[in-house]
Amino acid sequence: MSANSAEPTAGLTVSLVKGGRTKIRYPAGLLTDDGTRVVVRAPWAGEGSRDFGFVRFEPGDVFTEYYWRDRWYAVKEVRTADGRIKGWYCDITRPAVRTGAELVVEDLDLDLWRPADGGDVRRLDEDEFAASGLAERDPEAAAAAVAALDELERLARSGGFGELLA
């Protein structure tokens, strides 16, 4: 499936939860759900532009988002409105839960960015993760989160996410 070829088959609401509270909810088109992996497509859901310094998300950007029910991460392919790939933003999360038309994902603070050229792979928000207290409250979840970030970084630095997202 090419990034722009599949048309959404149904609507879904993605709810990103952080620290027990809903951080953001946004509509997305469901591309596939095979029982393990859910793939949706959505426009940039933020208000206006957001400049991270290493990438800028802005109105018109399109996110193809890959969520797993058995993995501790989500991978979001980011493209400009005209289809040029910016890169992949990866959230470390608990496994996704879909109930009807809602997909709930619990963000665990750690993130990873891989630009389209594969050059400047960045681990993000490790300070927020440490400050969250997850390691003390739920050491098994914290260990799973760190292992997930390590796995994504390994993939990002060794050629990207092609096989993972195929």
Q: pLDDT tens across 57-111, in order?
A: 999 999 999 999 999 999 999 999 999 999 999 999 999 999 999 999 999 999 9
pTM: 0.93
- Three-state DSSP state, 143: helix
- 148 Cα distance to chain centroid: 12
5-58 pLDDT, tens digit each: 466 678 999 999 998 899 999 999 999 999 999 999 999 988 899 999 999 999
Structural tokens at position 3: 């990034």
DSSP category for residue 106: E
Which candidate, 71, 83, 25, places its Cα nearest to that of 165?
71
Amino acid, single-letter form, for residue 3? A
Q: 3-state DSSP call for residue 141? A: helix
- DSSP class of 101: T
Contact (CB, 8 A) for 51 and 79: no
45 alpha carbon, distance to own chain's centre? 13
* Spatial separation of the C-alpha atoms in residues 52 and 72, rounded to whole Å: 23
